[in-house]
Structure 1
Amino acid sequence: MSTMTAPKDELVKLAESRMKVAIAENTWTDRQKLALTCRILFEGGHDSGLAGQITCRAEAPGTYYTQRLGLGFDEIRAQNLLLVDEDLNVLDGGGMANPANRFHSWLYRARPDVNCIIHTHPLHIAALSTLEVPLVVSHMDLCPLYGDVAFLEKWPGVPVGNEEGEIIAEAIGDKKAILLSHHGQLIAGATIEEACVLAMLIERAAKMQLLAMAAGEIKPIPENLAREAHDWISKPKRHSAAFDYYSRRVLGRHNDCLL
């Protein structure tokens, strides 16, 4: 079949149909995918001591998996993850969850579409957050974030109270991400794979923005083309393929995370 004269919309549909067949689904459990995410983000510069939380919904309503307070992202394994309820009571595992996980409970309550939350303080996001300016998306690779990043301009303090949970849940609205001034970033993903890929992307976006701001004025990209790119790149199969690639990259050094 010749495609050399086919219009763009037909080529997009053809590529999507081929992806559904050509890209296989991974077979890791949610615990393993969450542990892989911790190692991927560690290698991607998202670690900041013990700061940051990564969670995903568990089987029972109102419960989720998260890492144990006291362990860094590079120490997380499938077996040392905690199962907690929305009050952060540990239902399975040893130790305690990070008290700042409380705002995850508020976001899960507000967003039934969210199944994985990643909150981290990577260097370039943290640096950008001190300027109290929104994230600017003006490059093709960053378009999965186009129109999907909220901004909380005023820092409400450490997110261990219910007030912070309400503020952050309201500020992010229905978007996939939020830049938190003087703090960090948060991703609200439909899947673990999507959340991990967007977390890697938002740190790259902040780094790119800081470099561009230092060189001159950032020019906007056309909205219609940006939204087209957003929808094209933001396919579950593409997120899955990217997550699998990131996983292959880290498993050579972090194969203990699956245990």
Structure 2
Amino acid sequence: MATTFTDSKSELMRRAQERLRAETAESPWTTRQKVALTCRALFDAGHDSGLAGQITARADDPGTYFTQRLGLGFDEITEDNLLLVDEDLNVLHGDGMANPANRFHSWIYRARPDVQCIVHTHAFHVAALSMLKVPLIVSHMDTTPLYDDCAFLADWPGVPVGNEEGEIITAALGSKKAVLLAHHGQVVAGASIEEACSLAVLIERAAKLQLAAMAAGTIAELPEQLAREAHDWTLTPARSRANFGYYARRALARHPDALSS
């Protein structure tokens, strides 16, 4: 016999979150493997733009992180061809060079010790929205993990290979999870690789929804209190692990060469 039909929403949400935490195991993959799977998952999600974009994740030693080799597309990244670099982009392990645009990642990592993974891409719909110089509008339940958590940089500072661009992008991001860069693309700064991958998939979907809605009419705002509730409900480590597990399994099915073990 049912026993929960008189329970409050807050109590039902609390119990659901507890069970999700208990049921969702930590990812079985290493940091290198998760970065490679993120590259493949985002390639499949429409984030590929030739050699543009970078995905990085902190490594064990302070001031070091993993990233892809310049010259390889997201669909070519494997756990074995990733580079280990320092804050100056010197290659500590691996062959080739890092994308010089990775410099602004170093700035973000220095300013945000909570950030473990950064995803920067020029995904099609994000790039199209960036050309309009309008902020990301979160007005759908599915995209609420980004509600009031996506900043906007309205002035394009140019190709982000200098320290100036690192300072500008880091300041625009502030304490938020993401930033939309006018005339450029997006940056997601995640507390984990799982979170960064999930939000990167989501920001492209949010931009696609926004462009479609703008073409049809005026976008209606979400009620703030309910939107914040939804943000907190959907942006949790357990939910990110569950999302990433799905994206990773799908990526592995399509790209079994991403992992060597």
TM-score of the aligned structures, taking structure 2 as reference length: 0.98
**Counterpart secondary structure, 1:103:** helix
What is the DSSP-based 3-state SS (H/G/I as helix, E as strand, rest coil) of the residue aligned with 2:65?
Answer: strand
Take 1:119 and 1:158, find their aligned partners in 2: how far apart are those partners?
13
Deviation, 1:17, is 1.1
9-18 or 222-231: which moved more?
9-18
Q: Deviations over 1:90-129 (max 9, x none)?
A: 0000000000000000000000000000000010000000
Match of 2:47 in 1: 46
Q: Amino acid of the residue matched to residue 89 of structure 2?
A: L
Q: Distance in 1 between matches of 2:106 and 2:21?
A: 33
Alignment of 1:154-173 (within 5 A): 154-173=155-174
Q: 1:60-109: CA deviations, max 9, x gaps?
A: 00000000000000000001000000000000000000000000000000
Which residue is equivalent to 1:202? Answer: 203
2:178 paired residue number: 177
Q: Secondary structure at the match of 1:4?
A: coil
> Aligned residue for 2:187?
186
Q: Which amino acid aligns with 1:164?
A: E
Structure 1 stretch displaced more, 158-167 or 24-33? 24-33
1:2 aligns to 2:3 (yes or no):
yes
How many aligned residue pairs are there?
Answer: 259
Residue in structure 1 matched with residue 91 of structure 2 by the alignment: 90
Which residue in the other structure is 1:66 paired with? 67
State how far apart, in whole Å, the 1-side matches of 2:215 and 2:141 are: 20
Aligned to 1:148: 149
1:248 Cα offset (Å): 1.2
| Alignment partners' CA distance in 2, 1:219 and 1:45 | 27
Q: Aligned partners of 1:252 and 1:30: how far apart in 2?
A: 19
Say yes or no: does 1:13 pair with 2:14.
yes
Counterpart Cα distance in 1 of 2:161 and 2:21: 41
1:127 maps to 128
Runs of 4+ in structure 1 over 4 Å off: none
| CA displacement, residues 151-170 of structure 1 (integer Å, 9 cap, x when unaligned) | 00010000000000000000
Structure 2's unaligned 5+ residue stretches are: none
Structure 1 equivalent of residue 38 of structure 2: 37
SS at match of 1:124: helix
RMSD across aligned C-alpha pairs, in angstroms? 0.7
**How many Å apart are 1:24 and its aligned residue?**
2.0
- 2:222 equivalent in structure 1: 221
Question: Which has the larger displacement, 15-24 or 29-38?
Answer: 15-24
- Greater shift, 17-26 or 220-229, is seen at 17-26
CA deviation map 1:1-20 (0-9, x unaligned): 71110001110110011112
Identity %: 69
Code of the residue aligned with 2:81 in structure 1: it is N
1:71 alignment partner AA: L
| 1:79 counterpart SS class | coil
Give the aligned residue type for 2:135.
P
Matches of 2:183 and 2:27, distance apart in 1: 36
**Structure 2 match to 1:100:** 101
Distance 2:38 2:161 in 1: 23
What is the CA–CA distance in structure 1 between the aligned matches of 2:62 and 2:172, rounded to whole Å?
Answer: 24
Structure 2: distance between partners of 1:138 and 1:82: 38
- Measure the CA separation in 2 of the matches of 1:154 and 1:75: 32
Rounded to whole Å, the distance in 1 between the matches of 2:208 and 2:18 is 34
**Paired amino acid for 2:245:** D
Aligned to 2:255: 254
In 2, Cα distance between equivalents of 1:32 and 1:11: 35
